[in-house]
Structure 1
Amino acid sequence: MQMSYYVPVVVLVVVFLAAAIRVLREYERGVVFTLGRFTGVSGPGLIILVPFIQQMVRIDLRTVVLDVPSQDVISRDNVSVKVNAVLYFRVVDPEKAIVQVADYLAATGQLAQTTLRSVLGKHDLDEMLSERDKLNHDIQEILDTQTDAWGIKVANVEIKHVDISESMIRVIARQAEAERERRAKVINAEGELQAAQKLLEAAEIMSGRPEAMQLRYLSTLASIGAQNSSTIVFPFPLDMIRNLTDKLGKP
């Protein structure tokens, strides 16, 4: 009789202890409710609850890596692209994360998708491809501000891929080729301008110093003589032609 009397008591004690004792890891916290009211955040370590009076919701404080699915985005210059990203965030206020939002993981994911479309839609395709760091920072700031009420801290946002259609890739390639040709023409024109300026400066110097022209004439003759050619063209000084015509024109 005594043995059968103690068995229910032992079972009751075990059930009571199982309902009262909780162990939380270092990265976990427990949001405690007493008769439905929030009464505090506990942990880590051993937590003792009043069975049937207090309930606890575990929450993980580690950084969560959330993959944002590909979103159809129309850029400011009316180019349709698919963009996906990855989001890094963590819970900094367990009370808000449980009390203020039903499912903070789902809420943060949906907010990240809408924010990604909204921010990228304000930029041209060239900006999406060349200014990812700036776009990542803009998206991170917006998400961090909006999730603050949920006790969430968005640490980083990274745009992973910007997928473009094959026709748009060909258009971008033609645009890049045209830009390279334009730069080559500009560089060539700048070279022609510099050469013309130098020739003009040389002509001004030689016009003021006749001996400089004579030295240039001798240098040209030496250069021609060094060539293995059967035909040699001698440059004829213009001042000699001018003197000859003056003499012939006199009566």
Structure 2
Amino acid sequence: MEAFFGIPALVVIAWLGGSSVKITSGGQSRLVERLGKYDRQLTPGMSFVMPVVERVVSLESLKERVLDIPPQQCFTRDNVSIEVDAVVYWQLLEHPRAHYAVDNLQAAMVNLVLTQIRAEMGKLDLDQTFTTR
């Protein structure tokens, strides 16, 4: 009868112990929430999380990434329509802010870059767009 209660207890203890260890690879970051509220950021290495109280809500790479911006129609200062294409190299520096402050990070970055491209192209004449980058 003691073995009947001992085996499930060992299984539960092993499960709790195994699920409390989180290994974060180099160049990655994890966010931990305690009871639904942001608690801390896990850096590369081995970390411990309380299984019932805490949970990992986000895993992101901190390495440099590439964002391809779709071609965009813009007008130069002399009202000539041109099509501009761009590639953005970016790196996540503040994982908590990126996770909690922005719903869709990729879409927000695309909108920001397109706004800047339109603003800068509007300051240049057509000839200047060919000579400056």
Question: In which range does the TM-score fall when normalised by the shorter chain?
Answer: 0.7 to 0.9
> How far 1:3 moved relative to its partner?
4.5
Tell me, yes or no, if structure 1 residue 131 matches structure 2 residue 132.
yes
Per the normalisation by structure 2, the TM-score is: 0.86
Q: TM-score, normalised by structure 1?
A: 0.48
The 3 A distance-change label for structure 1 pair 113 and 62 is same
Mapping of residues 94-243 of structure 1, within 5 Å? 94-132=95-133
Superposed displacement of residue 112, structure 1 = 1.2
CA-based RMSD: 1.8
Larger RCO (alpha carbons 8 Å, 6+ apart): 2
Name the one with the larger helix percent. 1
Q: Give unpaired runs (5+ residues) of structure 2.
A: none
> Closer, same or farther in 2 for the Cα pair 1:15/1:110, shift >3 Å?
farther
Does residue 35 of structure 2 align to residue 45 of structure 1? no
| Partner residue in 1 for 2:64 | 63
Alignment partners' CA distance in 2, 1:125 and 1:92: 36
Unaligned runs of 5+ in 1: 133-251
Measure the CA separation in 1 of the matches of 2:95 and 2:121: 31
Instruction: Give the match's secondary structure for 1:69.
Output: strand
SS in 1 for 2:102: coil
How far the C-alpha of 1:64 sits from its partner, in A, is 1.1
1-side partners of 2:85 and 2:4: how far apart? 65
DSSP 3-state at the match of 1:121: helix
Partner of 2:14, secondary structure, is: helix
1:5 corresponds to which residue?
5
State the match for 1:16 in structure 2.
Answer: 16
Counterpart of 1:46, as a letter, is M
Deviation, 1:68, is: 0.6
| Matched positions, count | 132
Distance in 1 (CA, whole Å) between partners of 2:84 and 2:7 is 63
> Could you tell me how far 1:90 is from its partner in structure 2?
0.6
Please name the residue that 1:84 is paired with: 85
Give distance in 2, aligned partners of 1:34 and 1:80.
52
User: What SS class does the counterpart of residue 78 from structure 1 fall into?
Assistant: coil
Deviation at 1:92, TM superposition (A): 1.3
| Identity of matched residues, % | 28
Letter in 2 for 1:98: H
SS of corresponding position for 1:68? strand
After the TM superposition, list the runs of 4 or more consecutive aligned residues in structure 1 that deviate by more than 6 angstroms.
none
